[in-house]
Structures are given as structure tokens and as C-alpha cells.
């Protein structure tokens, strides 16, 4: 621990072993901060179904823990009311929240829960001392709902080279796919099966126009039917596969281990993040693209929302116009027509750039610097 740094109570409602972008972000941020200062972690690793139990118990625990800690950092907007209550009880201490895109846009959705969220969580976010936004687009959306830009600081998500870049083989990749694809050109889409991720759009519009030697793996987790937030569109992906007779070329992996994700990220030829515009949802950052880049994969991403913060065009990937089928098809065909050495060399460049700009060591230090600045100036 570095002497003089504040003691931090870190609370996360989404944490491993549950897999997902927020879970990975919260875990790596907490671990990174622990290397810099004294951090106490209270985390929910049992999924959203456990939240009704986790939230009240965590509030009670935190009331006692805050006697010994200088600041509290919560992992996203769901926990903003907990942080707001603690701030009311400990007015001399500082309280912060990481804010992802859905932490803002959920308040625009229809239903009772979004209305409650808008009435309670958004005012709670405004009450905290500083908000750490994972993307510049998230700041723009937050401003529209009344959160001052001066209240927000953009700090991107990070990525761990040691955690992700591993030695895996194409034979392992073939095993995951279910047939021999060692001589195929393999595209990966790694994301939740929800509409704005664009997985269904890509399967239905792009894959039918690519060569027969191009195959795709779409991996991620499905959201529950009654889960608050984005709807499950896994059935749409299945329907597009059947409609376009892509059963032998597109595989959906809705339940996948972290080890299998590492295999995919280190063996496929190219990773896509073809996000589309979808009412009430945004991509706050797009952590999967920097995870792919750190593994030296070529990345293609839609040039919308937080993806523009994660992908620096020509440096660690390429940004393409969202939902422009011709652009996506032509770009993929041009890349696959190139010598594989080109893809390997660009992948190495992308890995180096991502390591230099998005390592968790550097990102965690930025969080600590902003927390210290807030302690000094207020």
C-alpha cells in the first residue's frame, strides 16, 4: 500500500464468477486498486437474482465499514442509493460511482422498475461527489437527464494482458465449434445476446454475403426473460441462422466458461462488434474489443457510442459505419483477401497499443488520482 492514499470501500453488485463486461470491469478495477492502497471489497457474485438479498445486507455492512474507510466507490448506478445513504450518514467522507451506459439509459425504458430507478437512482448519482464514466458518450447521455458534465470524469475500461493473452491452439477452437475449422477464416462476436450488440443483425445481413470458408462464433450469456434491462434476442440469432441456412457456418455459444473465452480470443482470425442503434440502450464502452485487441486480434467495430472510445481507428482496430451492410462485407472481404501475415502484424500492433493505453495498472491509477484530487479540492 502506498502511504497517504485513501482507504477505499469498494462495492459491486456484479462480480465474478458471473461473466460479463461489468463483472470483469469491477473485478479488475478492485484488484488494481488493491495494489495501490487499502481496499475492502463487498461484492455480489451470485447474479441479479441475489440482488434483493445483497442490497439490504450490504447497506448494513457498509454503515459499519465506513467508520474505518475514507471513501466509498460503487461499481455502477444500481448501487447509487446505497452510496447516497452512506454519504448522508458520513457527510465528511467522499462517495463515487462507476457509471456504465445502461446505468443512465435504463431510466428511459418502459415499466415500473425503470420509473423507480429514474426516481431514486438518478438523483442518488447526482448526490455523490464524482461519477467515473466509462465512455464520453455516457457523459452526453447523462447530461440529457440532468447530471452536470462537471460532475463526470471519463476513465475508460481497462484490460489485463496477463489474464487474457494465453497460448491456445486451433484444434481447441475446432472443438468449441463442433467441427474441424482449422482451415477456415473464423469471426468471433463476444457479447450478451441483446439487440443493441448487433449480433443478430450481423448474422442475418453480413454472414450470408461472405465466402463459404468464413465461419462465425457468437459467444456470450443470455439474459433472463424477467430480467430488468435489455431483452434476450438469442431466438432472433437462431432464426437468422435457419432462414439463411447457416447452420454449418455460425455457432451460438450461450453458456461458456472463462477458459473457453480465452481460447476464442487467442485463436480466431477476427473479432467484430457490430453494434446497432436500439431504443433505450447504448454501448457505454465495449470492453470486449480491447480484450480482443490485447490478444492481438484484428477488431472491427461500429463507430457509435462508447466503441469510439475503445477502438482508435487504424491503431487497435477499425471503425465502420453501423448497419451499413456493404461496408462491413467489403471490409471483411478485403481483410480476408490479404496475406495472413498482415492480420498477424496488425494484431501485434493492436496488442501493443492496447497494452500501452488500456492496461489496468494505468486505469486503476487514474481512478486513484481522481479520488485524491476530489479529497484535496473539496
Statement to judge: residues 148 and 198 lie in one domain: no
Mean pLDDT over 334-343 rounds to 88
Residue 377: which pLDDT band, with cuts at 50, 70 and 90?
Answer: confident
CATH for 181:
3.40.50.2000
Helices 21-34 & 287-294 angle (0-180, nearest 10)? 70
Query: Is 169 inside a domain boundary?
Result: yes
Of 24-38, 220-234, 240-254, the poorest mean pLDDT is in 220-234
Mean pLDDT over 46-52 rounds to 88
**pLDDT given for residue 2 in this prediction:** 44
**pLDDT given for residue 359 in this prediction:** 92
Quote the CA–CA distance of 198 and 244 in Å, as a whole number: 17
Domain span including residue 112: 8-158+360-377
Residue 69: count of CB within 10 angstroms of its CB: 20
3-class SS shares of the chain: helix, strand, coil, % to 5: 50, 15, 35
Strands (E) in the chain, as ranges, are 8-12, 39-43, 71-74, 94-99, 130-133, 152-154, 185-190, 214-219, 250-253, 270-273, 298-302, 318-320
- Asked if the model's pLDDT at residue 3 lies above 90, the reply is no
**pLDDT given for residue 257 in this prediction:** 87
Percent of all residues in the chain with a pLDDT value above 70, rounded to a whole number:
98
| Global pTM exceeds 0.85 | no
Residue 378: which pLDDT band, with cuts at 50, 70 and 90?
Answer: low
Mean pLDDT over 66-92 rounds to 96
Statement to judge: residues 144 and 171 lie in one domain: no
**pLDDT given for residue 1 in this prediction:** 39
Statement to judge: residues 371 and 263 lie in one domain: no
Query: Is 1 inside a domain boundary?
Result: no
Query: Is 237 inside a domain boundary?
Result: yes
Query: Is 2 inside a domain boundary?
Result: no
Task: Provide the domain count of the chain.
Answer: 2
Statement to judge: residues 338 and 364 lie in one domain: no
Statement to judge: residues 207 and 305 lie in one domain: yes
Residue 108: which pLDDT band, with cuts at 50, 70 and 90?
Answer: confident
Any bridge partners for residue 11, and if so which?
42, 74
- For 225-247, write each residue's pLDDT tens digit: 655 567 889 999 999 999 999 99
- Asked if the model's pLDDT at residue 375 lies above 80, the reply is yes
- Asked if the model's pLDDT at residue 325 lies above 90, the reply is yes
Amino acid at each position: 500500500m502506498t502511504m497517504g492514499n485513501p482507504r477505499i470501500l469498494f462495492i459491486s453488485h456484479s462480480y465474478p464468477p458471473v461473466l460479463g463486461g461489468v463483472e470483469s470491469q469491477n473485478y479488475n478495477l478492485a484488484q488494481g486498486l488493491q495494489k495501490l492502497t487499502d481496499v475492502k471489497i463487498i461484492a455480489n457474485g451470485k447474479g441479479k437474482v441475489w440482488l434483493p438479498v445483497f442490497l439490504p445486507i450490504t447497506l448494513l455492512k457498509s454503515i459499519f465499514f465506513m467508520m474505518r474507510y475514507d471513501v466509498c466507490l460503487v461499481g455502477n448506478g444500481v448501487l447509487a442509493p446505497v452510496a447516497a445513504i452512506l454519504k448522508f450518514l458520513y457527510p465528511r467522507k467522499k462517495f463515487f460511482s462507476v457509471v456504465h451506459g445502461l446505468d443512465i439509459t435504463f431510466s428511459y425504458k418502459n415499466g415500473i422498475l425503470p420509473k423507480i430507478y429514474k426516481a431514486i437512482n438518478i438523483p442518488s448519482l447526482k448526490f455523490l461527489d464524482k461519477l467515473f464514466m466509462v465512455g464520453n458518450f455516457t457523459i452526453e447521455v447523462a447530461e440529457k437527464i440532468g447530471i452536470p458534465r462537471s460532475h463526470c470524469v471519463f476513465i475508460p475500461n481497462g484490460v489485463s494482458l496477463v489474464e487474457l493473452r494465453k497460448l491456445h491452439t486451433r484444434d481447441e477452437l475446432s472443438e468449441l465449434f463442433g467441427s474441424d475449422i482449422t482451415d477456415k477464416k473464423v469471426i468471433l462476436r463476444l457479447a450478451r445476446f441483446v439487440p443493441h450488440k448487433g449480433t443478430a443483425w450481423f448474422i442475418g445481413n453480413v454472414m450470408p454475403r461472405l465466402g463459404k470458408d468464413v465461419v462465425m462464433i457468437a459467444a456470450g450469456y443470455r439474459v433472463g426473460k424477467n430480467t430488468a434491462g435489455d431483452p434476450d434476442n438469442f431466438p432472433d440469432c437462431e432464426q437468422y441462422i435457419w432462414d439463411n441456412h447457416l447452420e454449418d457456418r455460425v455457432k451460438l455459444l450461450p453458456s461458456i466458461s472463462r477458459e473457453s473465452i480465452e481460447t476464442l480470443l487467442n485463436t480466431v482470425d477476427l473479432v467484430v462488434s457490430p453494434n446497432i442503434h436500439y431504443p433505450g440502450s447504448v454501448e457505454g464502452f465495449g470492453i470486449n474489443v480491447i480484450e480482443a485487441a490485447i490478444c492481438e486480434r484484428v477488431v472491427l467495430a461500429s463507430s457509435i457510442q462508447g466503441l469510439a472510445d475503445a477502438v482508435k481507428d487504424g491503431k487497435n482496430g477499425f471503425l465502420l459505419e453501423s448497419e451499413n451492410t456493404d461496408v462491413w462485407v467489403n471490409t471483411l472481404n478485403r481483410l480476408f483477401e490479404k496475406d495472413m501475415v498482415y492480420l498477424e502484424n496488425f494484431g501485434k500492433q493492436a496488442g501493443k497499443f492496447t497494452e500501452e493505453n488500456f492496461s489496468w495498472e494505468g486505469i486503476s491509477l487514474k481512478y486513484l488520482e481522481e479520488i485524491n484530487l476530489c479529497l484535496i479540492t473539496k
